[in-house]
Amino acid sequence: MRIRIQSILLLIMCLIAYSSLAATGNNQKQKEKESAKTIIVSAEGLVDANAEIYKKDKGLMIDDLRKDARRQIIEKAVGVYVDSSTLVENYTVINDRVLSKSQGLIKEIIKESEPWLGKDGFMHILMKAEVYIGDVKSAIQDLSKERRISIIKEQGNPKIAVRIFVKDAERSSDNIKERSSVAENVLKEHIKGFGYTVWSDDTNSKDKQSDFLIEGEAKFQRLSHVLPASGVRIEKFVLTSWSVKCVNTHTGEEIYFNNKVPQKKSWNSEDAAVEEIGKMIGSEFSRDFFADHLQQPSRIYQLKLTGLPDYDTAELFKKEFIGLRNILNVDFRNFQANGPSLFEIEFAGLRGNFNTVVNEGILKPLNAKVGANAFRLMASHGDVIEIAYAGKGKQELLKAMEEMPPASLVQASPERLKEVAKSPETKKKVEAMTAQLSTTTPAVSSAGREAVKNF
């Protein structure tokens, strides 16, 4: 008897150990899966060709040029989770913890251009790389709690739509399924408990669509039994199977799906059965689930730039776009002299504050480089952005594009400016460009614009 008890205890301990190891293994697999996620990022590297240190060592200049390009690639990847102003304000800590680790965060350099010396006094190089975006996120989250609260980009208030269909084996033999408002309302209450917005799934407008759609389907069967003694008929509703999936409506990606066959689940009424279905589907989702999936790495937009005089100038704008922090990748699709030229651009993050990103991240740097109010945002609807150029003539525009510093330096932190602008003549050019910011005339007074933006 004693030996039997010891054997049972040993078996229990083995099962507990196995369960612990299995849970650890699952957590490790999830971490590995998250860590393996990658994105493609293009960036421009810069060094000051007039710096004394490079006049003596050209090899060092090229090494530093490639190093800067890799750092800019990581900085753009960080921009998926950290907004531009926060990155500048916390540049030192992010640089120490994230940007300096480009070697471990970059999976592969896909391609790079030949280095070239520009008329602006900078050596340039373009580089495209595959980045471990999961590791970038982890590196940011490893910061202290106080830093992380101020650095991680706000995920916003996701809009979630719900559809739950129920099929009764008796009433739905022809495979017709019915929406259950009871189950949907239970699930909606669960979502609202997170502080999130329950959104109608009936709108077809892209601008008014939800961020996520939860769709579930449950099948149940009605069972009846007559008690022999009393002749009373007892009915039970048995759930035979249910499935659930969650779709990111911006990308169409199914970010979660599951099928279950419940054991020994029955209810006394149909309403009680469908109410429980809503609870079970709700239990599949937590507040963190939506927060983790809300901030997608990127989104593709069509940018129509009207008014460029020739193809060569349009190519120079492609280079400028590659350098800007919020743009991960750019493809120059179509050109029409003085008409619309089409660029397909991949932006970091979702559309929440997209018009502000366009103004601050594209128009302001370009206007600082070319001249105040040369570029204006004419329209932004769906996935299309329309920008008009109405500034200098062809020769003046070409001169500004070639001889003024890259527009990306308008967004740069003071620390980065010190790294790339070392000589007096280069510093003077950068200062002249940033001075253009104060000459831009807003559509309304600056105080009024700030009040509207912050309302």
Instruction: Yes or no: say if 335 and 341 are a contact pair by the CB < 8 Å rule.
Output: yes
Q: With a cut of 50, say whether residue 149 has pLDDT above it.
A: no
- What confidence tens digit (pLDDT) does each residue in 429-455 have? 999 888 766 555 444 445 554 554 555
Q: CATH class for domain 159-294?
A: alpha beta
Predicted structure pTM score: 0.65
The pLDDT of 217-228, averaged and rounded, is 81
**Domain definitions of the chain by residue range:** 35-151, 159-294, 298-454
pLDDT band at 315 (very low <50, low <70, confident <90, very high): very high
Instruction: Yes or no: say if 333 and 342 are a contact pair by the CB < 8 Å rule.
Output: yes
When the pLDDT of each residue in the chain is averaged and rounded to a whole number, the result is: 79
CA dihedral 330, 334, 336, 341 (to 10 degrees): -30
Under DSSP, the state recorded for 392 is: S
10 Å CB burial of residue 341 (0-12, 13-18, 19+) is buried
Residue 142 structure tokens:
């490893």
- What confidence tens digit (pLDDT) does each residue in 77-97 have? 887 777 666 666 666 667 766
User: How many whole angstroms separate alpha carbon 278 and alpha carbon 381?
Assistant: 36
User: How many whole angstroms separate alpha carbon 107 and alpha carbon 140?
Assistant: 18
User: How many whole angstroms separate alpha carbon 2 and alpha carbon 162?
Assistant: 57
CATH domain 35-151 topology: Translation Initiation Factor IF3 (3.30.110)
The pLDDT of 21-39, averaged and rounded, is 53
Residue 304 structure tokens:
């129509």
* pLDDT value of position 158: 74
pLDDT band at 298 (very low <50, low <70, confident <90, very high): confident
Q: With a cut of 70, say whether residue 364 has pLDDT above it.
A: yes
Under DSSP, the state recorded for 405 is: P
